[in-house]
Amino acid sequence: MIKLTINEKEITTSPDKTILEVCREQDIDNNIPTLCYDEKLSPFGSCFLCVVELEGQKKLFPSCATKVAEGMVIHTRSEKVMKARKTCLELLLSDHYADCFGPCRLSCPADVDIQGYMSLINLGKFKEAVALIKEKNPLPSVCGRVCTRKCEVNCRRSTVDSPVGIDFLKRYATDQDMIGEMWQPEVHPDNGKQIAIIGGGPAGLTAAYYLVIDGYRPTIFEALPKMGGMLRYGIPEYRLPKDVLQKEIDWITDLGVEVKNDTMLGRDITIDGLFKDGYEAVFVGLGAQIGKPMWVDNEDADGVLSGVEFLKQIEMKTNPDIKGKVVVVGGGNTAVDAARTSLRLGADEVILLYRRTEKEMPANQMEIDAAREEGVKLELLAAPVLINKDENGRLKSIDCIRMELGEPDDSGRRRPVKIEGSEYTLECDWAIAAIGQEPNLDGVEGDDNINTTKWKTIEAKEGTFNTDRPGVFAGGDVVTGPADAIDAIAAGRMAAQAIESYITSKTIEPLINRFESKRDNFHKVTADDLKEIKISERHHMPELPAAERIKTFEEVETGYTAQMAFDESLRCAECGCDLGLDCVLQDYCTEYGVDQTRFIGAYNRYKPDTRHPYIKIDSNKCIRCGRCVGVCSEILNVSALGFVNRGFKTIVKPSMEKALHETNCVSCGNCIDVCPTGALVEKMPLRRSGPWIMESVFNVCNYCSVGCNITLNVKTPDIFFVTGAPPDVGPNKGELCFRGRFGYQHYLDGSRKTQPMIRKNDQLVECSWEEAFDAVEKGFKTITDEHGRDSVIVSASPKLTNEELYLAGRLARDSIQTNNITSFHRQINDADYHALDDIVGTTFATATDDDIQNADLYLFLGGNPCFENPVLGWQMKRRMRHGTKAIVINSSEIDLTKYASVWADTRRGTSTVLLNGIMAELIRNDKINESFINENTTNFNQTKEELLKTNLDETANISGVTPDKIKKIVELLSNPELKIVTVYNIESRIDRSTNDLKALMTLMMILGKVSDNGSGLVLTSTQCNLNGMQSSGFDRHILPGGTTFDDPKGLKELSAVWQNDISSLFETSGMNLPRKIREDKIRGALIFGENPAVAEQFNNFVNHLDFLVVADMFNTETIKMADVFLPLSGYLETQGHLTNWDGKSQFTNPIGEPLNGMTNIDMIMKLSKLFGKEIHYNKFEEI
């Protein structure tokens, strides 16, 4: 052991560890950044991010590759280290031609995940889309109608044809959500802390929403009779129906927000008073509801109105009777709204007077176009200079002057300049001034601790919205001046976060600017860069005809149809990164404040490679960390990926410009798991794939018997993907094979059957569960009445859970009263699943996973572990590469023979002869374990006598294995100190020999290596729950728990549990089911999850049954012959256990309710009741 110091802390540790390992082990600095390090790989040191400073050394050292030494003094976060890490990241990013997020999201003030909810809408997940939107914007129905669409302005698709209808799609999703019960957020428990919110507009409502779901008690004080602010009183009904607005407001307030209307700051309440009343913070979101004057003479004349006041009067039903000719002054949305509203009130003519050109108008272009369609006339480059009154003091006309555009002003728009001598007069009956708005700061301006500006706005800190007065926050138009609703919504959410921070810690942490890689940082993206995007026309919003709509205040836009929403959402180009929400590189860049543009010069550009059916390679995102190369070569010994080219052009990809699937790639996808940047990602089996933040659900693979642990990344029960579990979990240590990683995709390809069916007129037709069960009951009653209950068979797949198999067995034995239980998979495979019962009592593995990892010698008999049980095979191959000896007995050259100490290439079918010959030589050479044999076996002398009848030459002649190889095998097996693990796949047809498994176990017994000191038999299968099938008792020869039918005690205990004496069942029903099948004594069948009709030997049997019930998830040949089809629930929807090859019972963690509407357990209990025996369990654990 050595001593060293890390970050002023003295450490004692082993000298064989690296600095990084010690830091993590000692919990000193668990956040040392690294992109190239993987604990399963040799240190590579390519990213140089994990550097640390050693006192007395000038250079920095990579902690992942530097071993600790006595007396080291290490600093992991010195100024020099932090600067170096930032520089390293900036160098990496200077050749990272990729977007973290699409321009749409980056331009949305609220940072809404637009790409994510576009995908959900396309997949028909409207509530999930709304939930995603409301993570940042709780008023999407409002924004879907009145947003100014900054996202669409910056939509990259507009460089190709036209922007995606983002706002229209948002509205469509929220309209669907409003049908019936709206999506509800999870609300944290009430913490009792009160927050005052002044102003019930978008900023105040948003702040209230995020505070209430965090457990606070917000109260909104609104000066006007109803909530909504400018959304209610400043936007006309035809754009924003007030029933829609009210429904969204009610949805927020019903979560626990208290509302006090007709309560004005400065008149009814004060900020001081609110604090005295117990409010712990105050948010001021007053908005900007006072219209600015035109600053022309006589604008106080009767007939001259303020635009914002006019629109408020409309909502409050106090508006004047508008007739005749109306002139609206201004170019913003308020001006356009006032003009269009005037038409609807009966004006004969409406003129919109604006001092710049249409291009400079701040109003949304869609609103300008709509106004023009409705008949509003645009009088551009003109401004009022004087209001003329008649003798009664009422508006008569407006003197105007023509303008021209000069140099740009502070807003970036060209300044209007008067054209001398261009004056003219506009006759009119009404003039509406809509040239701007400002807040009413009554109740604020007198507070010396709250600073205000000359523009009558409140000074609040950017990003945190706190004012100079502790506990007082402000946001929205009262801070920025008149802006868009989405800006106020963004402010309300961020202010709520700041308030939460203030209350919990009395500090307000500034928001950290999230790093965003952008292709636009390298060059302006143009249509030439987007050639993969096919031209498609934008779906325009259906509208009421102009002639109709000016007669009514009904909503002009009628909304997308379902087909329009589907098609439009497909137009999204998915600019953002597939890993944009879970990217380690992005996180580091944010932490270190990286500037991507700092070192940008020359850069590489690549076309993403999507030729592999499951894996996409985007080399633009590759940082050359080498982890995928290392996993592929060191872990799998495949080397499908490698470094190509040299210097600045170096990149990771397959050699010779091959597609990945054209190499020796095994499509395991382990490269995806280790890639830190999204250069390697899965091609999702969905039209759209988000990305989304997914819930991690740990589960078990249900393919082979290894029982690999997997992580299900779940958005909904039918939107998920698989990655490896953490490397310290499960027998697979994070690795997966092709089936484990991508095999789930058949769940999502639309082929699954979820509706029961019954046969009518020789056709299977969908029906209800009740109809299906009725048909089952009638069908089996006919069979059992005519042929007896022993004419029925129950079969089940070894992919079902232990609990399901137990109940299926009980259904047969307890309810139907037959021992006709089987797995057609087992019968078709024709393996001896009870080969070792008479030798060691049961046919199970005697070794453990730990034994595999620590063995000195492997003996592989038949099969091909790297194909049949790949993860296990790779683990053993890896150990063989690092020195573990191995004997391979196989007539074929398999993956492992290359690394074997001896490959005994037997003639097909002679493995048993070879094993007998090997045992004979061990006996002759006195290399057997006499002690073990004497203590644990019987009849050895008889066996010995039989074995010694063979000789070496005879064995070699029959097996085809040379005497020298046999001697070498004997020599390897003769070392009593070696931990020997034999490996056999009971279902493999590769080189199977009669009695080979019995011979293999006999060999292990004479060596004393059955189950002792790290030795034993590994007995695998191609099915995930073969062991569970036997331990659950779904076997004609075995009872639940693994006891046999001739065990009186076990039989008695089971009869007591089932409350049914089944002791005579095994005599009356018997064991010889194959004979009953051959003799046509089976007339009805219940088949769970199997497809016997696909096998030639059972096709005729299945086809000639009198009554067939098939329960499955997918269409099969057997289903086509069924009288009744019952859809199974998937194991991803089921609580249960699967038992892997070494006896580990692992829990299956459901990701949602069964899509078929019923669990398999409920189905089997229902079937049992149909046969007259009610089996009932209140909860899963009781089984």
**pLDDT at position 720:** 94
Point out which residues pair with 763 in neighbouring strands: 760
Q: List all residues 6 or more positions away from 817 whose beta carbon is below 8 Å from its beta carbon.
A: 789, 790, 1062, 1065, 1069
- Six-digit token pair at 132? 């995603």
- Packing angle between helix 333-345 and helix 365-374, nearest 10 degrees? 20
Residue 506's CB: how many other CB atoms inside 10 A? 9
**Taking residues 154-178, what's their average pLDDT?**
96
**Taking residues 814-830, what's their average pLDDT?**
92
Quick one: how far is CA 926 from the chain centroid? 60
**pLDDT at position 850:** 93
Distance CA 62, CA 648 (A): 22
Residue 385 host element (H or E): strand 382-389
Q: What band does 829 get if pLDDT is binned at 50, 70 and 90?
A: confident
- Which 3 state secondary structure label does DSSP give 91? helix
**pLDDT for residue 1071 is more than 80:** no
Which amino acid, residue 703? Y
**pLDDT for residue 541 is more than 90:** yes
Give the DSSP per-residue string, 926-947. Answer: T-S-HHHHHHH-SSHHHHHHHH
Share of the chain above pLDDT 70, in %: 100
**pLDDT at position 656:** 84
Residue-wise pLDDT for 741-773, tens only, equals 999 998 888 899 999 999 999 999 999 999 999
Q: What band does 143 get if pLDDT is binned at 50, 70 and 90?
A: very high
Residue 1123 has what DSSP assignment?
Answer: S
**pLDDT for residue 1165 is more than 90:** yes
Of 59, 66, 78, 75, the residue nearest 5 (C-alpha) = 75
Inter-residue contact 638 to 628 (CB < 8 Å): no
Inter-residue contact 460 to 451 (CB < 8 Å): no
- 394 or 841, greater pLDDT: 394
Whole-number CA gyration radius for the chain = 38
Q: List all residues 6 or more positions away from 321 whose beta carbon is below 8 Å from its beta carbon.
A: 345, 346
**pLDDT for residue 282 is more than 90:** yes
Q: List all residues 6 or more positions away from 223 whose beta carbon is below 8 Å from its beta carbon.
A: 199, 262, 263, 264, 265, 267
Of the CA atoms within 13 Å of residue 503, those in its CB half-sphere come to: 25
Q: Among 117-121, 446-450, 949-953, whose mean pLDDT is lowest?
A: 446-450
* Cα dihedral 51/55/57/62 (nearest 10): -20
All domains of the chain in start order, with CATH: 2-77 (3.10.20.740), 103-183+536-569 (1.10.1060.10), 194-289+439-505 (3.50.50.60), 293-436 (3.50.50.60), 602-747 (3.30.70.20), 757-832+1035-1182 (3.40.50.740), 837-1024 (3.40.228.10)
Residue-wise pLDDT for 916-971, tens only, equals 999 999 999 999 999 999 999 999 999 999 999 999 999 999 999 999 999 999 99
**Taking residues 21-29, what's their average pLDDT?**
93
Residue 796 has what DSSP assignment?
Answer: E
Q: Which residues of 795-826 are buried (b: 16+ CB within 10 A; e: fewer)?
A: bbbbbbbbbbbbbbbbbbbbbbbbbbbbbbbb
Q: What band does 265 get if pLDDT is binned at 50, 70 and 90?
A: very high
**pLDDT for residue 990 is more than 80:** no
- Which 3 state secondary structure label does DSSP give 129? helix
Mean pLDDT taken over the chain: 94
How far lies 101's CA from each of 155, 158, 424, 690, 947, in Å?
A: 12, 16, 52, 11, 71
**pLDDT for residue 53 is more than 90:** yes
Q: List all residues 6 or more positions away from 1179 whose beta carbon is below 8 Å from its beta carbon.
A: none
Distance CA 951, CA 761 (A): 67
Pairing of strands 1016-1020, 980-985: parallel
Residue 721 host element (H or E): strand 719-724
How many residues does the structure list for the chain?
A: 1183
Inter-residue contact 488 to 477 (CB < 8 Å): yes
Residue the block writes with tokens 């209230």: 208
**Taking residues 1114-1134, what's their average pLDDT?**
95
- The burial of 311, by beta-carbon neighbours within 10 Å (0-12 exposed, 13-18 middle, 19 or more buried), is given as buried
Residue-wise pLDDT for 561-612, tens only, equals 999 999 999 999 999 999 888 899 999 999 999 999 999 999 999 999 999 9
- 163 or 508, greater pLDDT: 163
* Cα dihedral 171/172/178/181 (nearest 10): -130
Which amino acid, residue 992? R
Residue-wise pLDDT for 879-890, tens only, equals 999 899 999 999
Quick one: how far is CA 623 from the chain centroid? 24
- 876 or 1047, greater pLDDT: 876
**pLDDT at position 866:** 94
**pLDDT for residue 1012 is more than 80:** no
**Taking residues 505-522, what's their average pLDDT?**
90
Of 1175, 791, 819, 832, the residue nearest 1026 (C-alpha) = 832
- The burial of 241, by beta-carbon neighbours within 10 Å (0-12 exposed, 13-18 middle, 19 or more buried), is given as middle
Residue the block writes with tokens 């520089």: 87
Distance CA 1054, CA 1044 (A): 11
**Taking residues 110-132, what's their average pLDDT?**
97
* CA dihedral over 697, 702, 704, 705, signed as positive or negative: positive
Pairing of strands 885-889, 902-904: parallel
Residue-wise pLDDT for 770-785, tens only, equals 999 999 999 999 999 9
